[in-house]
Amino acid sequence: HTGSWAEAYPDIITCANMFWWPAGTDWPDRLAAEPGTGQLNPLNSNTYKVAKNAIRDVINMFPDAFFHAGADEVTPNCWKSDPDIQAFLAKNGTLSQLLEMFVNSTLPYIISHNRTVIYWEDVLLDANINVAASLLPKEYVILQTWNNGPSNTKKLVEAGYRVIVSSADYYYLDCGHGGWVGNDSLYNQPPGTDLGNGGSWCAPFKTWQTIYNYDITYGLNTDNAKLVLGGEVALWSEQADPTVMDPRIWPRASAMAETLWSGNRDSTGMKRYAEATDRLNEWRNRMVTRGIGKKLVEAGYRVIVSSAEFYYLDCGHRGWAGNDSQYNQPPGTNLGNGGSWCAPFKTWQTIYNYDITYGLHIEEAKLVLGGEVVLWSEQADPAVMDPRIWPRVSAMAETLWSGNRDSAGMKRYAEATDRLNEWRNRMVTRGIGAEPIQPLWCFRNPGICNTIQPFKLS
């Protein structure tokens, strides 16, 4: 969002259009949590004119009683790159004071329009940049939590705030689908390693059972539990667009809805997985008949390689047998598979990384005819087939036909990302629902979304 503002109002944005992770630096030295860069400058008076105009437009457009004001993932070095902020810090100012300036200016303005303000938990709990609780009046502010599961929820309600729960451990629907930045060295792993996340920071994939299992008031006393208003699942857009949105959301969001509206336990205190499986299965099939692409709930020899650890495309999408006692777990446990025997989800990077002749001598390698990815039908049908298959099959095809290493023996993830990204967008224009590799603007600006800067940006 700040990238577009930087074009119209360059004076109000710090570190705009810079490479997000400068070459030769460590993670704490990054300019953004991901590509691209840019944060509002709290020292510039024009920042507040532009921000308040945007706030006013949103309030006029939407009559809701709530306004989400963000304030998450403020990156220190982006602000530190600005000369005016450098001078402010040199006079013993702090980064937290900068955030307080912004909150002090915008929060009263939003409240004056009869809106309750929602902030991400970072505004209070971030270790580096936060504001004092005294600046966030509890009668006007709701905090939304996304880190550390029940722990952060407890911190916020004990401080007296109303809370919306969106724990990344349970409620982030994009988790487990692999990373999307190119040229990431963490993918250069021998087979048998790095199977846990495929580059996805919040892996594994959150199955419907994982979501259904989560008790958002876990560990809270009765009074504190009353401050938990509810929960919200999140599907971020880096690797999701209208092509895959429906099957990414459903039926997992429905699992959360049942838990929050009806509870997830029977009269004996056990989780109601058998009943929930039947309800979600019936509901899913009704949705498909209405044209909405939902995921199934149940739904010496020559060798062809179809390793389940790398090539099973249905892995990580939860189990489909009902009434499985393994799902009755307290929060913080059983996050690894959600009932899927071959979890985690096999990202395109996991598939691309696999060398099917790994560990074989030359004569043995000749007996390996090739590989085949597998998508079994228990939880896949025509409603979800295309995004389950593409572009992951293409990652295998490139590996087997062209190889996955450069002349130095390193995996060619940066090149593969660009090729698969370009290919995926061509497929979508032909009406084939392939999953996104990167956000669209990465495709339009090759190289800017890599983890290692490949060229000097002008």
C-alpha distances in Å from residue 75, one per residue of 15, 27, 40, 223, 447: 10, 11, 11, 35, 22
Catalytic residue among 34, 73, 275, 415: 73
Rounded to whole angstroms, what are the CA distances from 391 to 151, 181, 297, 414, 423?
37, 16, 23, 15, 8
Asked if 33 and 23 count as a contact pair (C-beta separation under 8 A), the reply is no
Could you read off the pLDDT of 314-325 as tens digits, one per residue?
888 877 776 666
User: Is 389:375 a contact under the CB 8 Å cutoff?
Assistant: yes
User: pLDDT digit string (tens) for 109-136?
Assistant: 999 999 999 999 999 999 999 999 999 9
- Neighbour-count burial for 346-365, b at 16+ CB within 10 Å, e otherwise: bbbbbbbbbbbeeeeeeeee
Query: Are 351 and 435 spatial neighbours (Cβ–Cβ below 8 Å)?
Result: no
What integer pLDDT is reported at residue 58 of this predicted model? 96
Cα→Cα distances 138→98, 118, 224, Å: 21, 11, 14
Task: Give the pLDDT score at 172.
Answer: 97
* pTM as predicted: 0.80
Report residues of the chain scoring pLDDT below 50: 295-299, 455-458
User: Residue 334 gets which letter from DSSP?
Assistant: S
**pLDDT at residue 363, as a whole number:** 78
- Active-site annotation holds for 73: yes
